[in-house]
Chain A
């Protein structure tokens, strides 16, 4: 989870990712960010997130994204 938080805070150091749960709904993350996150997760965890999993629900919070990574690992 730490690796993931550092990926996210590189993009938005001003956001507290441990508590935010509406990253997509409130427009914190945009398409630039999603592309970066997908590439960074690939680098850090060695797994590519399949297109079918790239949906708002999986990106709304760091926790949701982390569960996705665990599920895919």
Chain B
């Protein structure tokens, strides 16, 4: 297998009229997905676009997914950009990517017109009316190789500039095959997608849906406010498999919704991106005693998830749920400061090798080289590893456990955030002299301290305009002076206790 479109071709051939993607109201069958994407591919090909990234500036919907594969049909790569990402991030993406082609829809045309962008812009609906050129598309596929760029997704960067992680067909195929083995997807799988389409988390649903001829429901995000309605939605659409961030799962368990409502079809619950609080996990297991619960771990730089652990036992108080073992065809090494493998029971940096390594950061060779490095244990031939910056160890049972981060990167509501990006965004506001962000891991609160003449309200309003939703602080606290450590650095621990003492 060379190209992810082979999944789509197979599904469209064997199950043309089956529902592939839907939000519950509007959906597309596999045949429709294939037709739309081939029309878009033909359009792009005729306009002479080849092997370049194509920005898909569209809201989360089935059409957007068809647009992704439309770009791929033309031999291009897709770059999802959702208006929900906030203006500053979108501008950062355009700056880093310097795109030549954007696909937009009615709902995003106004936004596009206000961006500093002068390349080609095509309307999705217009593109889908193109007559498909089967021969030309076959020619494009003929010349494809599996290391071709498939997508670029943007993630938080510590200096305030977003980083574009570029993945190839090879790494996605490798990931999807391994993930599917572990989670046991089939044609009967009905996914309930929770994550946005502009993060790698959605690969878990989008691609296995094609591979198995399954169905994915894009759950409207408003439902994650109202637990009983969310459960109704899951039951109505007979959703049996969910891969959600922990904070989405706790909306059901933490509100008692699981106790008085039944989830009739759910049988596989995968979670990750964050540590699942034991008590919440226990509530889920009690509500669904027959379901499988699988903890997933992995950085965007290694396509999706790299490790998995199936929950089958209870945990000691305070014991974190392990991240278990690497997927097939993935290797994990724990390296210490001397770039040696750590002894069992000692902490080390989680370093990952295998075909699931992505191509690195788009348009940023330096940053790529700093984390995608030669395996220090191999002096004989080229062997890349990804240094994740996550610290882990092996527990007594030989299971991999996530311990901490090496830097100021945190996970908040399932999203990866560099505190530095939030700080530099706030410092860009006139009236803010200094901005320091801390994370209360107990209560999952993102707290920003500022000094200067700006008020909390002004800062919050400014940040809401400039940062993606998930990066909005939970509180902004103005300070006259920042507490310092003995070395004269800002005392983040003290800041956290100021917040907790409020």
**A residues neighboring B (CB under 8 Å):** 10-14, 24, 29-32, 34-36, 38-39, 48-52, 54-56, 59
Contact = CB atoms under 8 A, between A and B. Distances in A.
Interface residues on B, range: 20 to 34
Contacts of A34: 225-226, 251
B224 A39 contact: no
Contacts of A12: 460
A30 B474 CA distance: 13
Given A13-B476, A30-B469, A51 B255 contact: yes
Contact of B227 (A10, A39, A54): A54
B25 to A, nearest CB: 19
B276 to A, nearest CB: 15
B380 interface: no
Contact of B460 (A13, A35, A36, A59): A13
A31 B225 contact: yes
A31 B251 contact: yes
A31 B469 CA distance: 11
Contacts, number: 72
B251 to A, nearest CB: 6
Interface in B307-354: none
B256 interface: yes
Contact of A10 (B228, B464, B474): B474
The residue in B250, B255, B464, B474 that gathers the most chain A C-beta atoms within 10 A of its C-beta is B255
Given A32-B413, A35-B247, A36-B474, A51 B469 contact: no
Contact of B457 (A14, A24, A32, A52): A14
A35 B228 CA distance: 14
Contacts of B445: 36
B482 interface: no
Interface in B441-478: 443, 445, 455-457, 460-461, 464, 469-470, 472, 474-476
B225 A39 contact: no
Interface in B138-191: none
A17 to B, nearest CB: 12
Given A48-B256, A51-B256, A14 B251 contact: no
B226 A56 contact: yes
Contacts of A49: 255
A35 B251 CA distance: 7
Nearest to A36: B474
Dominant SS among interface residues on chain B: helix
Nearest to A48: B256
Contacts of A30: 221-222, 225, 469
Contacts of B469: 30, 32
Contacts of A14: 457, 460-461, 464
A39 B443 contact: yes
Given A13-B457, A31-B221, A48-B255, A55 B474 contact: no
B228 A52 contact: yes
B457 A50 contact: no
A49 B455 CA distance: 32
Given A31-B221, A55-B228, A38 B254 contact: yes
B261 interface: yes
Nearest to B231: A51
Q: Which 8 pairs from chain A and chain B are nearest by CB?
A: A51-B257, A13-B457, A31-B224, A51-B255, A51-B227, A34-B225, A31-B225, A10-B475
14 contacts: A11-B475, A13-B476, A14-B464, A31-B221, A31-B222, A31-B224, A34-B225, A36-B445, A48-B255, A50-B255, A50-B256, A54-B225, A55-B226, A56-B225
A50 B254 CA distance: 9
B456 A13 contact: yes
B470 A54 contact: no
Nearest to B221: A31
